[in-house]
Structure 1
Amino acid sequence: MNKLMIVLAASVAALPMAAAPARQQAAPATAAEESPFTFEEVMVPMRDGAKLQTVIWRPKGKTGKLPILLQRTPYGVPDAAPPKMPNTIRFLQEDGYIIVFQNMRGQFKSDGDFRMSMALDAKGKKGVDEATDAYDTVDWLVKNVADNNGKVGMWGVSYPGYASAVALARPHPALKAVSPQAAWNDWWINDDLHRYGAARLSYLTDWLFSLQNNDQGNDFDYGGKAPVDSYEWFLKLGPIANLDKLYFKGTVPQFTAMIEHPDYDDFWKRQRWTEQLGRTTVPTLHVAGFWDQEDPLGTWKIYEKMEAQDPDGLNMIVAGPWAHGTWHSMGYDVGYIKHGKESGTEFMRDIEAPFFAHWLHGKGARPTGEARMFQSGSWEWKSYPKWPAPGTTATNLYLQSDGTLSFTPPADAGQCREYVSDPANPVPFRERPISRTYPSQEWRWWEAADQRFVDHRPDVLSYVSAPLEADLTVTGEIAAKLMASTSGTDSDFVVKLIDVLPDDYEPAPKGALGDYPRTLNGYQFPIAMEVRRGRYLQSFEKATPLTPNQVVAWDVPLRSHDHVFKKGHRLMVQVQSSWFPVVDRNPQKFVPNIYKAAPEDFVKATQRVCGGSLVTLPVVK
């Protein structure tokens, strides 16, 4: 599901899906099926004179003055009213909202230039950025849209989520509620473009090209023929600077800039817009997915920043067992894992709709429970007074030299396990053949996919616990620390925390196993996964080579989670040094700009994982 499809899922699910970030379209209502909305298109003026294409849906049959819900997007606005009420806003519309969509500056019919920079650098009365455009839009709407009640909310998923969040840096007085969902604040640390400085190669290729060429509705064509296996295509590509040199040829400015700024320099730091957030004055409902394959970290960081200055308790966060935007779907599976709860429906009905109803309509009690989590494993809603949740104990899970996991420190702390990492044969991030990002269904749930496909590779170390004698609840920030070395001068280490389902998890299928697409017996269900790049162990700002064969600490953040490892399940940790092509290959020889490494810089390296390596779990007693 691409970014456009997420936008559609988040707001106008009745609209047809598209394979690339092209213009949103809504099928006109027929005589037999009249739309529940009226439709109007206007051009909203900004302070510098630019006008932005804006669409207004007004609900029919709702009397009195209504609040406005605004979504700003780079992906195109609907060109008609929907033929029927979209499922994803049906709970909202029980209260009634004027729904407004706006194309961001420089997109489709909107004037100006589209900048992917997140920097809030507007200067002077005519200076503009995404925060000023949001301010000017809210100001125009409350003054010009008939029969509005003077209150505006903003919401959206992914890019529209960021566009909602950034409005909080300079909120208009009429902005009374915001729900940034799968938003972002730092493209070098994580989310769409990097994982702690490691480039997200295959995903950024498809997303950036289509986004920065979407006025023409273009997908990247991979040189004229989409690959059957993108693993092979990217392997043949060589250093990723070749992507711009041979294919993009300057048509994707964000990628060109990325190649020239491999380190965490001022180009990236000035885009960290959350530095301009002050006291929290607007009620905010953040939404994140524990299995968000596109923007997993930004929501947590925006919440954290706002929480630091929230004396009035206006800052809330919701998370659950969702991929990117799937909290607005009616389903309830986590990839192949079926749990039987419609958590998305419950979120929309019981959390999202009451949030906006209270702050924009004045209906219902003030929302309570600062952190609401749909806990995986137990598959139940939990409410916490803050996040990270209180009442947990940091508990170390140790990687033992015999390949086991236990909560007991190793007696042989000096022992190591090793493997050879070969950039010519990197570990795939999902089962091959690996289809392109869009419109692949495998992409949506790859972070929840069974990890048995790499479990016995010689360049993947697996550590497994004994079956649990009781449920183990982990609620909060998970982190790993490897004591590891490489024979190279640069390297990556990937750490995965996995819930291994029992061999009798589900009844044995009738007939031959081949009659069934998947059995969950013995399924290796990943809970948390992340990569660290060796050149940035000492500093994100300045890359430095590693000392060959020197054991050092690799801190690997594994983000926030709320999960129950059930009795009888086993814990597993996998360690590897490539994750291809979702992350670019590390040549394992230090070069000043990793994106411009020469073919001969890609060398084999012996990796060693030693005693003292552990994963720290926030355990609920």
Structure 2
Amino acid sequence: MRGLAGFVALAALAVPLASASSQTAPRSALSSVLDSAFSYEEMMVPMRDGAKLQTVILRPKGKSGKLPILLQRTPYGVPDKAPSSVPASMRFLMEDGYILVFQNMRGQFKSDGDFTMSMALDAKGRNGVDEATDAWDSVDWLVKNVSGNNGKVGMWGVSYPGYASAVALARPHPALKAVSPQAAWNDWWINDDLHRYGAMRLSYATDWLFSLQNNDSGEDFDYGGKAPVDSYDWFLKLGPVANLDKLYFKGSVPQLTAMIEHPDYDDFWKRQRWTETLGRTAVPTLHVAGFWDQEDPLGTWKIYEKMEAQDPDGLNMIVAGPWAHGTWHSPGSDVGYVKFGKESGTDFMRDIEAPFFAHWLHGKGAKPAFEARMFQSGSWEWKSYARWPAPGATMTNLYLQSDGTLSFTAPADPGQCREYVSDPANPVPFRERPISRTYPSQEWRWWEAADQRFVDHRPDVLSYSSAPLEADLTVTGEVAAKLMASTSGTDSDFVVKLIDVLPDDYEPVRGALGDYPRTMNGYQFPIAMEIRRGRYLQSFEKATPLTPNQVVAWDVPLRSHDHVFKKGHRIMVQVQSSWFPVIDRNPQKFVPNIYKAAPEDFVKATQRVCSGSLVALPVIR
């Protein structure tokens, strides 16, 4: 969430970033814009309850006439001075010109109030407040008090600022004319930063929540005085998750404490599902998602889906591409080590984001004609669809065979299984060791695109592989897996990965992270990965134990994708029962609160994956 994981535009104004500030725009028609400076003004904007929020206004010099306002609300800090030039991530936007406004959310830095991280929209009475009322009050004050504005306001942002822009749509001010929530979220228990279907995102939650909630300076958690060389070892020695709060945080990170005390999908989490308050879509909205977003991969799709249900005027749009968290604001010609050679990020900023705001806030250009615009991976081409999921796909089952192969033919040997032993004392790492802490980490940014060969031959990982494809296979839409599986324990996790295996004669390339230390030939390129926790198979609201050795269906949603498995590539599916330490360890013995399991509750279990297991692919023929 910080650095590039915060919003690049804001970060480039407040803290120089290699991904944004080091990009040099060509000396062209943009020269006069890029050489412009901004005027700078800081003020405290009043809210309805009397609280005042620290707000910075940056007005571009050299722009005549009244300009629209672009507002970004953030918990990460506002610029402390005017930048000398326009950051590369905003160069196309600023060709049209905007009054840029950055505001610290309630309780952050100089802003009054408490920063609770609550998404609940439960403001009551005349002076009741929540994030939606703060957005409304901010827009109202700005259009009435900022000189030289044209009465139109847009909101945008990535990650937390993305959520802060999205939530304004629950109670939109009449002057709010365009919103672009990017990598936003709507449900922290189901997915995104804090959980994956109830499984805690342990290492990320540790690093992110500490820097966000424990102090205004954004300092990194020091892991008890010395940052570990390998966070895998540190979290393994930590023991149960509750020890993180008991021994280190000691109540200083309220969101982590709440996670431990609310392991199930109870009212604490449900009341924060703010999208339930959305009504008819009245504000043009451009959602942006990354297919390899390592922090907030699902929320954007869910917000789009909710708004699409009541969008009679066609104001709801979504864009996605081969991006990690926020990398659509850099040129973008790589997915980690996989290079595709086209600047999809530049395309997005120039051809989609800037025209969207120009039309709705400046009245320039035509109304965007697309509903869903995807930069399709594999083919590495832009595609437009009438809606999302895209029409015309046929759900096609890819079966996990008992001999370790994948086939579109249903298995002829019902009841056959493959098995492995899952040991919580030796969990499967989520990326190659040593695993650095989240910040700062180049490995973190692209770990969901990393070569999976580092676990392919572990005895506790099952791999299934197809023959080389005889023709391209285009997968466009919602991907899902169903495992028919059992465990000898009374609780368990299953992780499913859908992988594009590059041919053995694939040409070695140079990617965003430099020269890959090993050949790209045979690279196991993950397309989709997700986890399900057994205690929540029957109900998210009430955890229940599994029956040992009973084969049951495990539905594993794998989200939206648009990918072409090319001719000559192979499809692989990997199955495992731990993903550490990005996901906390399942003790594999059922306990009422998994985060408070005792050391003796962590036991080995025999896992079986049986006939009938499959991945359902939306195939475009």
Corresponding residue for 1:27?
Answer: none
Structure 2: segments with no counterpart, 5+ residues: 19-33
* Structure 1 residues 507 and 545: alpha-carbon distance in aligned structure 2, compared to 1, 3 A threshold: closer
Q: Residues 402-449 of structure 1, C-alpha deviation per residue, up to 9 Å, x if partnerless?
A: 000000000002100000000000000000000000001000000000
Task: Give the aligned residue type for 2:373.
Answer: R
Counterpart CA distance in 2 for 1:508 and 1:491 is 39
- State whether residues 482 and 613 of structure 1, in contact with CA within 8 Å, keep that contact through their aligned partners in structure 2: yes
* Structure 1 residues 508 and 176: alpha-carbon distance in aligned structure 2, compared to 1, 3 A threshold: closer
Task: Give the aligned residue type for 1:133.
Answer: D
- State whether residues 4 and 11 of structure 2, in contact with CA within 8 Å, keep that contact through their aligned partners in structure 1: no
Corresponding residue for 2:541?
Answer: 541
Corresponding residue for 1:23?
Answer: none
Corresponding residue for 2:70?
Answer: 69
Give 3-state SS (helix, strand or coil) of 2:220's partner.
Answer: coil
Q: Residues 566-609 of structure 1, C-alpha deviation per residue, up to 9 Å, x if partnerless?
A: 00000000000000000000000000000000000000000000
Corresponding residue for 2:441?
Answer: 440
Counterpart CA distance in 2 for 1:518 and 1:329 is 26
**Match status 1:58 vs 2:59:** yes
Give 3-state SS (helix, strand or coil) of 1:83's partner.
Answer: coil
Corresponding residue for 1:472?
Answer: 473
Task: Give the aligned residue type for 1:335.
Answer: G
Q: Residues 538-557 of structure 1, C-alpha deviation per residue, up to 9 Å, x if partnerless?
A: 00000000000000000000
- State whether residues 477 and 560 of structure 1, in contact with CA within 8 Å, keep that contact through their aligned partners in structure 2: yes
- State whether residues 35 and 82 of structure 1, in contact with CA within 8 Å, keep that contact through their aligned partners in structure 2: no
* Structure 1 residues 508 and 161: alpha-carbon distance in aligned structure 2, compared to 1, 3 A threshold: closer
Q: Which has the larger displacement, 321-330 or 214-223?
A: 214-223
Give 3-state SS (helix, strand or coil) of 1:216's partner.
Answer: coil
Q: Percent identity?
A: 88
Corresponding residue for 1:501?
Answer: 502
The Cα RMSD (Å) is 1.5
Counterpart CA distance in 2 for 1:612 and 1:498 is 19
Corresponding residue for 1:404?
Answer: 405
Give 3-state SS (helix, strand or coil) of 2:83's partner.
Answer: coil
Corresponding residue for 2:28?
Answer: none
**Match status 1:108 vs 2:109:** yes
Aligned residues: 603
Structure 1: segments with no counterpart, 5+ residues: 20-32, 510-514
Task: Give the aligned residue type for 1:243.
Answer: L
**Match status 1:591 vs 2:591:** yes
* Structure 1 residues 111 and 508: alpha-carbon distance in aligned structure 2, compared to 1, 3 A threshold: closer
Q: Residues 6-59 of structure 1, C-alpha deviation per residue, up to 9 Å, x if partnerless?
A: 33514453553589xxxxxxxxxxxxx975211110110000001100000101
Counterpart CA distance in 2 for 1:217 and 1:256 is 19
**Match status 1:367 vs 2:368:** yes
Corresponding residue for 2:356?
Answer: 355
Corresponding residue for 2:167?
Answer: 166
Counterpart CA distance in 2 for 1:508 and 1:350 is 28
Deviation of 1:190 after TM superposition, in Å, equals 0.2
Corresponding residue for 1:7?
Answer: 6
Corresponding residue for 2:181?
Answer: 180
* Structure 1 residues 488 and 148: alpha-carbon distance in aligned structure 2, compared to 1, 3 A threshold: same
Corresponding residue for 2:92?
Answer: 91
Counterpart CA distance in 1 for 2:162 and 2:98 is 19
- State whether residues 106 and 114 of structure 2, in contact with CA within 8 Å, keep that contact through their aligned partners in structure 1: yes
Counterpart CA distance in 2 for 1:600 and 1:384 is 53
Give 3-state SS (helix, strand or coil) of 2:384's partner.
Answer: strand
Task: Give the aligned residue type for 1:13.
Answer: A
Counterpart CA distance in 1 for 2:15 and 2:525 is 32
Counterpart CA distance in 1 for 2:215 and 2:151 is 34
Counterpart CA distance in 2 for 1:396 and 1:616 is 5
Counterpart CA distance in 2 for 1:247 and 1:287 is 36
Corresponding residue for 1:556?
Answer: 556
* Structure 1 residues 17 and 231: alpha-carbon distance in aligned structure 2, compared to 1, 3 A threshold: farther
Counterpart CA distance in 1 for 2:127 and 2:374 is 42
Deviation of 1:508 after TM superposition, in Å, equals 9.9
Give 3-state SS (helix, strand or coil) of 1:223's partner.
Answer: coil
Corresponding residue for 1:457?
Answer: 458
Counterpart CA distance in 1 for 2:4 and 2:381 is 28
- State whether residues 400 and 611 of structure 2, in contact with CA within 8 Å, keep that contact through their aligned partners in structure 1: yes
Counterpart CA distance in 2 for 1:331 and 1:485 is 42
Deviation of 1:3 after TM superposition, in Å, equals 2.4
* Structure 1 residues 508 and 305: alpha-carbon distance in aligned structure 2, compared to 1, 3 A threshold: closer
Q: Residues 48-89 of structure 1, C-alpha deviation per residue, up to 9 Å, x if partnerless?
A: 001100000101111100000000000100001112110011
Deviation of 1:331 after TM superposition, in Å, equals 3.1
- State whether residues 451 and 526 of structure 1, in contact with CA within 8 Å, keep that contact through their aligned partners in structure 2: yes
Task: Give the aligned residue type for 2:550.
Answer: Q
- State whether residues 508 and 519 of structure 2, in contact with CA within 8 Å, keep that contact through their aligned partners in structure 1: no
Counterpart CA distance in 1 for 2:403 and 2:340 is 34
- State whether residues 500 and 523 of structure 1, in contact with CA within 8 Å, keep that contact through their aligned partners in structure 2: yes
Task: Give the aligned residue type for 1:435.
Answer: S
Corresponding residue for 1:418?
Answer: 419
Counterpart CA distance in 2 for 1:301 and 1:496 is 21
Corresponding residue for 1:340?
Answer: 341
Counterpart CA distance in 1 for 2:13 and 2:156 is 18
For residues 306-321 of structure 1, what are the structure 2 equivalents within 5 Å?
Answer: 306-321=307-322
Counterpart CA distance in 2 for 1:350 and 1:342 is 12
Give 3-state SS (helix, strand or coil) of 1:496's partner.
Answer: strand
Counterpart CA distance in 2 for 1:381 and 1:58 is 34
Q: Residues 280-308 of structure 1, C-alpha deviation per residue, up to 9 Å, x if partnerless?
A: 00000000000000000000000000000
Counterpart CA distance in 1 for 2:307 and 2:36 is 39
Q: Which has the larger displacement, 517-526 or 258-267?
A: 517-526
* Structure 1 residues 219 and 516: alpha-carbon distance in aligned structure 2, compared to 1, 3 A threshold: closer
Give 3-state SS (helix, strand or coil) of 2:603's partner.
Answer: coil
Could you tell me the TM-score, scaled by structure 1's length?
A: 0.96
Corresponding residue for 2:272?
Answer: 271
Give 3-state SS (helix, strand or coil) of 2:135's partner.
Answer: helix
For residues 284-303 of structure 1, what are the structure 2 equivalents within 5 Å?
Answer: 284-303=285-304
Corresponding residue for 1:129?
Answer: 130
Counterpart CA distance in 1 for 2:509 and 2:129 is 61
* Structure 1 residues 588 and 351: alpha-carbon distance in aligned structure 2, compared to 1, 3 A threshold: same
Corresponding residue for 2:23?
Answer: none
Task: Give the aligned residue type for 1:6.
Answer: A
Counterpart CA distance in 1 for 2:540 and 2:427 is 24
Counterpart CA distance in 1 for 2:518 and 2:52 is 52
Task: Give the aligned residue type for 2:433.
Answer: R
Q: Residues 131-174 of structure 1, C-alpha deviation per residue, up to 9 Å, x if partnerless?
A: 00000000000000001000000000000000000000000000
Corresponding residue for 1:565?
Answer: 565
